[in-house]
Amino acid sequence: MNRPILPGATIGVLGSGQLGRMFAVAARRMGYRVHTYSPAEDTPTGHLADREVVAAYDDLNAVADFARRVDVVTFEFENVLSATTECAARYAPVRPGGEVLHICQHRRREKNYLHDRGFPVTPFRNVDNLEQLRRAAGELGYPAVLKTAGFGYDGKGQVVVRSADELEAAWQAIGQVEAVLEAFVDFQREVSVVAARGLDGSFCHWGVVENEHRNHILDVSTPEARVSEAVRKQAIQVARGILEALDVVGVLCVEYFVAPGDRLMVNELAPRPHNSGHFTFDASLTSQFEQQVRAVCGLPLGGTELLRPASMVNLLGDLWGAGEPDWAAALSDPAVKLHLYGKAQALPGRKMGHLVAFGNDRDDARRRAIAARNALIKR
């Protein structure tokens, strides 16, 4: 059962976005075949896969047929129904397992799971109705953030509540659904740890990455976050504990807030390669994508050393506002690498690609990454 799945075998990926695309690059480079499954066609992963299956996630006949033709199933998109992973698991190992997905695809289940096991999370309360919301806000104080328990609810996921007067409107705004109320954290930094765990329980990580968001979307990620040694150690230790508790085989990212006084709190988990680990593709001995291949195939994990100081900036669809970005201008810095995901339509807020820049140190790399992105729109 636990024999490695060797090159030449076929890996099935649920989901078809950029994470699957980069996974497919890593898998194909190592001689694996890749099948992708999602409801969309002509997808970022499909462009690189050996086979692109277009079917709904709840079409269990199609899921069974997909799983029968692969040696292992993994995913790049966690909002797949439990029925889908359970169905796939009848025909091929699913790594990480369906239980990991089940917990991580639901904010409330995830927070309760972490809290119950003693991992540090943002103070929160479960909320099912307006009455409970009032009580929770009384306990946590203001400001607070009301978030839907499930993800992807019509883009209406989060509302900041500043006073008791705003509670009712906030409850309406999120659609009066199962939710959590979180204390608003006046954080100093947002950081993440992308980590991987092998079939044999081996563990590795790419250090603590510092993340800057714009409009709630990741904007810049720079490895070797400016945090104290105590926070660095704790972030890695917590990540390790979470991967072990969940018995993850694959890659998982833990996103944190660092609050004043070096208080570290988990914000959320992603049970797959993460945007804040994209720099590893160019800058690390083994990328998060290659590591996912190695982990789910039961191979030894590769080294994760950072080869050179680097920084990553996202390229959102907004950059296309004035026409095609000036790629040559961005690449005029020879230390810049361009990644584009092959998406046909550049919509505002849509992740179209990213740039990675190298530098003499982390600040230099960050500056060069941002300068290269700015060059895209300066003509």
Residues making contact with ligand AMP (CB under 6 A): 122, 145, 182, 184-185, 190, 213, 216, 267-268
Q: How crowded is the C-beta side of 16, counted as CA atoms within 13 Å?
A: 24
- Phi first, then psi: what are they for 332, rounded to 5°? -70, -20
Q: Are 66 and 12 in contact (CB under 8 A)?
A: yes
Name the CA radius of gyration of the chain, rounded: 21
Q: Which is nearer to ligand AMP, 91 or 153 (CB)?
A: 153
CB of 151 to ligand AMP, least distance (A): 8
**In this chain, which residue has its C-beta nearest to ligand AMP?**
185
Q: Which is nearer to ligand AMP, 59 or 212 (CB)?
A: 212
User: Which residues contact residue 323 at a Cβ distance below 8 angstroms, ignoring those fewer than 6 apart?
Assistant: none
Q: Which is nearer to ligand AMP, 153 or 203 (CB)?
A: 153
Q: Which is nearer to ligand AMP, 91 or 184 (CB)?
A: 184
Q: CA distances (Å), 107 to each of 126, 157, 217, 369, in order? A: 10, 11, 17, 32
CB of 268 to ligand AMP, least distance (A): 5
Q: Which is nearer to ligand AMP, 210 or 290 (CB)?
A: 210
CB of 280 to ligand AMP, least distance (A): 20
277 closest CA partner among 289, 294, 269:
289
CB of 191 to ligand AMP, least distance (A): 11
CB of 125 to ligand AMP, least distance (A): 12
Q: Which is nearer to ligand AMP, 19 or 73 (CB)?
A: 19
Copy the structure tokens of residue 227. 């945090």
Q: Which is nearer to ligand AMP, 28 or 115 (CB)?
A: 115
Helices (H), the chain: 18-29, 60-68, 82-89, 98-104, 107-116, 130-140, 167-173, 229-245, 280-283, 288-296, 327-330, 362-377
Q: Which is nearer to ligand AMP, 13 or 127 (CB)?
A: 127
Q: Are 6 and 297 in contact (CB under 8 A)?
A: yes
DSSP state for residue 29 in the 8-state scheme: H
User: Which residues contact residue 132 at a Cβ distance below 8 angstroms, ignoring those fewer than 6 apart?
Assistant: 125, 126
The identity of residue 189, as a single letter, is: R
Q: Are 338 and 331 in contact (CB under 8 A)?
A: yes
The identity of residue 123, as a single letter, is: P
Q: What is the DSSP string of 223-252?
A: ES-S--HHHHHHHHHHHHHHHHHTT--EEE
Measured between alpha carbons, how far is 366 from 360 in angstroms, rounded to an integer? 10
CB of 29 to ligand AMP, least distance (A): 31
CB of 190 to ligand AMP, least distance (A): 5
CB of 182 to ligand AMP, least distance (A): 4
CB of 174 to ligand AMP, least distance (A): 13
Q: Which is nearer to ligand AMP, 16 or 267 (CB)?
A: 267
